[in-house]
Structures are given as C-alpha cells and as structure tokens.
Amino acid sequence: MENGNVSLKINDGIAEVEFSHPMSNSLPANVLNKLANIIQEAGDDKNVKVVILRSEGKRAFCGGASFDELAEIKDEALGKEFFMGFARVINAMRKCPKFIIARVQGRAVGGGVGLAASADYVFATGYSSVKLSELDLGIGPFVVGPVVERKIGTAAFSSMSIDVDWYSPEWALEKGLFNQVFNNVDGLDSELNQFACRLASGSVKAMAELKKVIWEGTENWDELLERRAEISGRLVLSDFTKKYIADFKKK
C-alpha cells in the first residue's frame, strides 16, 4: 500500500477498478501503469459489460501526480515517460469498448480531473471539488487538457487552467464534467449500483457502438498526448518547478 495499488473485481458483468495511495490517492508511475493495463483488461474481458472506476476512501478521489516522483525526474526522457503514464490511462479509457462510470467521491486535482473527464459518466458528491493545479507548478495541464477540454469546452477549460483555484461540484455539474451530484457517499453508491446494473443488463454491442460515436474525433490522441507528455516532461525540469516542489514538500 505504501506505493499504491490497483485492483479489479468482476461481479455480474460489472468490473470495479479501484486505485489507492496513502497520499490522497495520488498517481505515481506504478499506479498509472497498472490502471492502464487493468482498464484494458476489463475492456477485453467478454464477461464485463460496464466498468466502474473508483478510488479508496471517502473524501479524496485523486490527488494527481506524485510530487515525490516529480522531484526525482532528472532528464527529459524520464519526464516524458512519467507523463506518458497519464496519457496511457486516458487512451485506455477512451479505447475501452465498455462504458466507464467514475465514482468521484471527493476532491480531484490535476490528473484526477483527467480521470473524471475520461469517464463516460460521472457520479460525484458535494465534496467533489476539482482543480487543475499544474500552472502553479510551472507545467500546465498539457496531457489531461484534451480530455478535459473535450468534456467541458474551451472556455471552462481555460478558466480552470489559468485560475488554478478550487471549482465546486455544482460548477462541474453545470459544465458537464459531472453527470450527477449527491449529498453524500451513501446516496451516490445507492444510485451508482442501480445505474451500473441497468447498463449491465443492456446490449454490449449497442453500448460499444455508441461509445465509438461519443469519442469520434479523438483518433489521433495516441500521437497528440505523446506530444503533450514531451512538453510536460521538459517543463518539469525547470528551476521554477523544482523549487515549487521542494518548497511544497517542506510544508
């Protein structure tokens, strides 16, 4: 658990992919790689009809990139490879032929917002504020940018990217990042379970074809997100970013 974990459970056609990390469910490279592989595995499994993406705990959905690993990046190749972890997860989610429902039970930062935006449907709670903090780090939301912008539009994405403050669950619902918001986790889980069961009873072929339609226009994302990872991998080496991370870790 110290380095995080990803698990897969399948029951009655519903695959539950759960990730965890003691630092607010942050995303180090090992968790990112496992997430991409397990999402692909669930998508390829003929027994799976719908996928639920969730994280451990009740208040933090995802703390974004691991600052410990960002601090250890020494060259552009390593930087690109780290951010490719986010690219692989996003691409695995968009290519998965099954609908992915995200259970966003708490705050989401940076890459966590990217996970929510990559899902096909999102259940959230009143605790699920969202934030793109990358510009504060001297990087920018380059890898998650295409999927967030696709979901909420250019104007809202620009606001999140430039004004790196917390945005409320109500704002995220209005902009289309979230589909439903509940007062608490219990209410979320009750509705989510019913929703997933209803989808699991439907036509796998029809859902797969609909997902293709929903994601039309993203066919170049393997190349696009790799280029974005190169930008982030270069910027993470800047003195500005190194100082920001060092100061943050001292807090």
pLDDT digits (tens, 9 = 90+) for 58-83: 889 999 999 999 999 999 999 999 99
Look at residue 217 and tell me if it is in a domain.
no
Look at residue 218 and tell me if it is in a domain.
no
Look at residue 65 and tell me if it is in a domain.
yes
Look at residue 209 and tell me if it is in a domain.
no
- pTM, to two decimals: 0.97
3-state secondary structure the chain: CCCCEEEEEEECCEEEEEEECCCCCCECHHHHHHHHHHHHHHHHCCCCCEEEEEECCCCEEECCECHHHHHHCCCHHHHHHHHHHHHHHHHHHHHCCCEEEEEECCEEECHHHHHHHHCCEEEEECCCCEECCHHHHCCCCCCCHHHHHHHHCHHHHHHHHHCCCCECHHHHHHHCCCCEEECCHHHHHHHHHHHHHHHHCCCHHHHHHHHHHHCCCCCCHHHHHHHHHHHHHHHCCCHHHHHHHHHHHHC
For 230, residues 6+ apart whose C-beta sits below 8 A from its C-beta are 76, 80
Q: In the predicted model, is pLDDT for residue 3 greater than 90?
A: no
How confident is the model at residue 133, as a pLDDT? 95
Mean pLDDT over each residue of the chain, to the nearest integer: 96
Look at residue 225 and tell me if it is in a domain.
no
Q: In the predicted model, is pLDDT for residue 154 greater than 90?
A: yes
| CATH code, domain carrying 153 | 3.90.226.10
Integer Cα distance of 57 and 36 in angstroms: 21
Look at residue 211 and tell me if it is in a domain.
no
Look at residue 206 and tell me if it is in a domain.
no
Please give the residue range of the domain that contains residue 121. Answer: 5-200
Q: pLDDT (tens digit, 9 = 90+) per residue, 187-230?
A: 999 999 999 999 999 999 999 999 999 999 999 999 999 999 99
Look at residue 140 and tell me if it is in a domain.
yes
Q: pLDDT (tens digit, 9 = 90+) per residue, 162-186?
A: 999 999 999 999 999 999 999 999 9
Q: In the predicted model, is pLDDT for residue 1 greater than 60?
A: no
How many domains does the chain contain in total? 1
